């Protein structure tokens, strides 16, 4: 499955012929519609009209708005996120948390997450996480390879990923760099 290869998936065309072009156009239509009007998720006919393709094409390929949103979100949150390698665990985690907070602090990303959670069930939830846990695991494994004793992946998920997603989705509290540094400091103080 082709994934967005840039952290700014709104621009650029993708190789791969007509099928890849349709996918890119439909994905862009979904993102634009969600950015225009937060609120109820777009319907397939509205997405198709915006993308300039026939609704049947969208139904045949994705089946439902839920599957379409999960696909758009999955490609938005996979790839394009560089795993930091600063040379030590604290630096890596601080950079990771900063990047995550910056990503989820973007209103368009948040609108995509909210809409996907709303209609795409468990598949959508997994898409909203993308490769976040794997990326964190890579940081922890690197620390182990250095001879360190990092916290577990579950602990790190509870301490870093969970608060950032929770703050972004459920509150108005700011995702500030001071706060993400504090999350790391608490985790490593244990």
Q: Does 1 bind a copy of itself (CB under 8 A)?
A: no
Report the nearest approach of a copy of itself to the CB of residue 177 (Å). 15
Binding mask 25-54 for a copy of itself (x = CB under 8 A): -------------xxxx-------------
Report how many residues bind a copy of itself under the rule CB under 8 A. 38
* Residue among 19, 30, 18, 100 nearest 65 (CA): 30
Asked if 189 interacts with a copy of itself (CB under 8 A), we say yes
Which residue's CB is nearer to a copy of itself, number 21 or number 102? 102
Stretch that binds a copy of itself, among 11-19, 59-67, 89-97, 136-144 (CB under 8 A): 59-67
Contacts of residues 60-65 at CB distance under 8 Å and 24 or more positions apart, as own/partner, are: 61/22, 61/23, 61/26, 62/26, 65/41, 65/119
Residue with structure tokens 């997405």? 47
Minimum distance, C-beta of residue 120 to a copy of itself, in the bound complex (Å)? 8
Cα–Cα separations (whole angstroms), residue 45 to 37, 54, 58, 64, 123: 16, 8, 9, 11, 22
Site string for a copy of itself, 70-109 (x = CB under 8 A): ----------------------------------------
Contacting a copy of itself within 141-170 (CB under 8 A): 154-155, 157-159, 161-163, 165-167, 169-170
Query: What are 95's two structure tokens?
Result: 């950079």
Which letter does DSSP use for residue 161 in this model? I
138 binds a copy of itself (CB under 8 A): no
Is 176 in a helix, a strand, or coil? coil
Cα dist from 104 to 19, 77, 110, whole Å: 29, 10, 6
Number of Cβ within a 10 Å radius of residue 63:
11
Q: Give the binding site for a copy of itself (CB under 8 A).
A: 38-41, 64-66, 114-119, 121-122, 125, 128-129, 154-155, 157-159, 161-163, 165-167, 169-173, 183, 186, 189-190
């Amino acid at each position: 499955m082709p994934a967005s290869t840039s952290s700014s998936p709104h621009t650029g065309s993708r190789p791969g012929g007509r099928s890849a072009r349709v996918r890119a156009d439909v994905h862009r239509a979904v993102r634009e519609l969600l950015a225009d009007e937060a609120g109820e998720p777009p319907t397939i006919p509205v997405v198709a009209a915006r993308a300039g393709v026939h609704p049947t094409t969208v139904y045949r390929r994705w089946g439902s708005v839920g599957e379409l949103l999960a696909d758009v979100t999955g490609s938005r949150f996979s790839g394009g996120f560089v795993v930091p390698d600063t040379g030590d665990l604290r630096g890596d985690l601080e950079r990771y948390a900063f990047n995550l907070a910056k990503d989820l602090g973007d209103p368009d990303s948040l609108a995509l997450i909210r809409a996907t959670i709303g209609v795409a069930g468990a598949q959508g939830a997994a898409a909203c996480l993308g490769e976040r846990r794997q990326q964190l695991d890579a940081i922890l494994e690197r620390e182990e390879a250095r001879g360190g004793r990092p916290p577990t992946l579950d602990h790190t998920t509870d301490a870093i990923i969970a608060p950032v997603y929770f703050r972004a989705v459920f509150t108005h509290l700011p995702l500030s760099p001071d706060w993400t540094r504090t999350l790391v400091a608490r985790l490593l103080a244990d």
